[in-house]
Chains A and B, each alone.
Chain A
Amino acid sequence: MLNTKSAPTQARDNLISQKVTNLPPSGIRKFFDLLSSVEGVISLGIGEPDFVTPWHIREAGTYSLEKGYTMYTSNSGMPELRQELASYLELRYGLSYDPEYEILITVGTSEGLDLALRAIINPGDEVIIPDPCYVAYPANVILAGGVPILVPTGEENNFVVRATDIEAHITKQTKAILIGYPTNPTGAVMSKKEADAIAGLAKKNDLLVISDEIYARLVYGVEHICFPSLPGMKERTILISGFSKSHAMTGWRIGYVAADRRFIQALTKIHQYTMLCAPAMAQVAAIEALRNGESEVEKMVQEYNRRRRFMVKRLNEIGLPCFEPKGAFYAFPSIKTTGMNSEEFAEKLLLEEKVAVVPGTAFGPCGEGFVRCCYATSLPNIEEALKRMDRFIRKSRLKSE
């Protein structure tokens, strides 16, 4: 074997930090590479809206460029946007945040998450995360110097984490609980009772709660519980959200954090050194989204709901049992009866029937035996994908008999 190592890596093998070297690669990335090699795939693996941002919002963004909004904004974000957000949170959840000191505009929910974790974690602090969870949570905790502690959830409780299970994982090092309901990848939502139990635990053990509510607007037939609106939780919850899912604005990179002044001050400190401010054009667009976007949000939610019902019914019919997901745009059916594990199922389904789903294990060990199917794609696509999945399951049953 020839030595093909380039000079610098020969000179030193600590070029990349230990932390990053040890960070496991995203389970989705691996699948992405495989997917790129297959043609004619119907993808149920895309975790973002298939709608283009509503026209009035795009138009506002374009107009902002024409008017020359091309400079840095205030670190915290445009005052009008923070004001609109304060009114929005007041109106929807009865929460009152001071737009000047308690709201920070970020580059997507992603930045908010990163800031929140970096702002609160001391080396070795533990952060409790329900498993399965959004791929970035454990990685973000590790990058911030903390230790992610995964708490298992399962089908029997519709993938909502139980307070008693969290309690069993609390140690002296526990600093915070990081939750995201409605949940990517399961579509689970939390009831008032379940949320209250976790709030009680946080108070009893003096823990912070980081609540990623990016899917708050995508709920079906239930009310979203905004975590900081629970009694006594506003001062110990860092609320993180954004416009990506509610207003189909993933590519704009715009989100926000709302929390007690102590936290926002700390987060802003990091934000001003690392990011300066969120994109100006996206901030102007977000103002328009809040002022005039309601009917478009409702239209999209209604459309997702139709697709959701369709997909869940078909999954159950073809023999992939699926609990009713009441939020986000994911269904999380069990594939255990096929005898395959998640990765095997997803890989074979892709190669044999050209349908992409994401193996549940990409979201944590408790995702084993499940796959994530996203219904943010057209009904005809969903129909065809399920037809193919049906065929795939029948074939594999015949083979194993």
Chain B
Amino acid sequence: MKEIFEILEQNGRATPEQISTMVDKPVSEVEKIIKQAEKDGTILKYKTIVNWPKLGEEDIWALIEVRVAPQRDVGFDAIAERIYQFPEVYSAYLVSGTYDLALLVKGKNMQGISSFVTEKLAPLERVQSTVTHFLLKRYKENGETFHLPKEINKRLPITP
């Protein structure tokens, strides 16, 4: 069953028929498992990885370290929730170490990100400090490599 999700994670467009052959299970069973997973949140969404720079569109990204004061009873969750609801926040994590929240923030330009930090994030009551790192280049994301080396056919066309 896990294998079905591994295949879909690699290729969201794999059809139940193709998957059924690959995992050697009836199509109806594969369809049932996928339907169920879509319903119960095992499969959250099907997305496409777009190489935006290829279209000349490049968002500005920043990694922001945030130190916050935890709250009685709810710990970091309440403040995290206040922060991650901002649409600028692409990913948010609670981390161990010298700061508490790690945010991946997306903006149209540098101006956009700095105003998010200075006007929305930093003024929040429980936010103690922030450190902003602008991303200069993306090499790999979610297991996918961005700057693919030119495909050269290294194998001989026929070998014993």
Contact = CB atoms under 8 A, between A and B. Distances in A.
Given A26-B160, A136-B160, A306-B7, A48 B155 contact: yes
A72 interface: no
B56 interface: no
Interface residues of A, number: 25
A310 B159 contact: no
Interface string B126-160: 00000000000000000000000000000111111
Contact of B157 (A41, A302, A309): A41
A45 B155 contact: no
B3 interface: yes
Interface stretch (A31-39, A167-175, A187-195, A280-288): A31-39
Interface of B: 3, 7, 18, 21-24, 155-160
A32 B157 contact: yes
Contact of B22 (A31, A35, A306): A306
In the A-B complex, list the 8 residue pairs whose CB atoms are closest, starting with the nearest.
A306-B22, A45-B158, A135-B160, A47-B159, A43-B157, A310-B21, A35-B157, A313-B21
Contact of B158 (A43, A184, A309): A43
Interface of A: 26, 28, 31-32, 35-36, 41, 43, 45-48, 50, 134-136, 184, 302, 306-307, 309-310, 313, 356, 358
Nearest to A47: B159
B157 A134 contact: no
Nearest to A307: B22
A313 B24 CA distance: 10
A264 B158 CA distance: 33
A98 B86 CA distance: 65
Contacts of A50: 155
Contacts of B18: 310
Contact of A309 (B21, B155, B160): B21
Nearest to A32: B158
Given A32-B157, A46-B157, A309-B21, 9 more contacts: A28-B158, A28-B160, A43-B158, A45-B158, A46-B156, A48-B159, A306-B22, A307-B22, A310-B22
A132 to B, nearest CB: 12
